[in-house]
Chain A
Amino acid sequence: QKEVEQNSGPLSVPEGAIASLNCTYSDRVSQSFFWYRQYSGKSPELIMSIYSNGDKEDGRFTAQLNKASQYVSLLIRDSQPSDSATYLCAVNDGANNLFFGTGTRLTVIP
């Protein structure tokens, strides 16, 4: 059974702060890791992908992967109210489908 665990939140941060979102996964053979942003009533939007240990930065977003600890995280710097959404962690086992966590709801307070 492949499992992806996330804190459901809600996580509230003030505008301009760093939001830290965490995810653990159970399948050691997982190779690809993704963060999706989902606004209420909308479909998931891919914001970050990471495949190797370490950090990957894209604008205000940084994804961190530690395969030994089976842990992946997303940092959002200079959080904006428009970042308020549910963030879904997804793990691909290298074959085909994605396994998703239940998502962490983030609220950025102006």
Chain B
Amino acid sequence: GAGVSQSPRYKVAKRGQDVALRCDPISGHVSLFWYQQALGQGPEFLTYFQNEAQLDKSGLPSDRFFAERPEGSVSTLKIQRTQQEDSAVYLCASSLVRGDLALSYNEQFFGPGTRLTVL
């Protein structure tokens, strides 16, 4: 079946522009996660949805970052007034169920990522 898809794959923005990054999870996956990966680092958690509910947004670095998943499937990560430090790869992952249920179902599968460059 189809995996997680993300668009655009690459985005170049001028400092101060707003950007919107899209994630389409694996069909039927309840949980959706956004991560930020800087060069040479592991992914860092940004936010988590279970269906349409945003249950954890503790990793969002500032109030310029906003995520939504209004119908419980596709999610959008929006960054307002982009800054150079926002340059990174933004990864989306999905998993079948919540992590506190059957452990074997909490495996997360990643999309290809969106590489954001802010000039």
Contacts and interface: CB of A to CB of B under 8 A. Distances in A.
Interface residues of A, number: 26
Contact of B42 (A42, A46, A95, A100): A100
A23 B42 CA distance: 13
Interface residues of B, number: 30
Contact of B45 (A31, A51, A99): A99
Given A32-B103, A93-B99, A102-B40, 20 more contacts: A31-B103, A32-B99, A34-B107, A43-B89, A43-B113, A44-B43, A44-B91, A46-B107, A46-B109, A49-B104, A51-B104, A92-B106, A94-B99, A95-B56, A95-B99, A96-B33, A96-B50, A96-B56, A98-B33, A100-B44
Interface string B82-119: 00000001010100001110011011111111000000
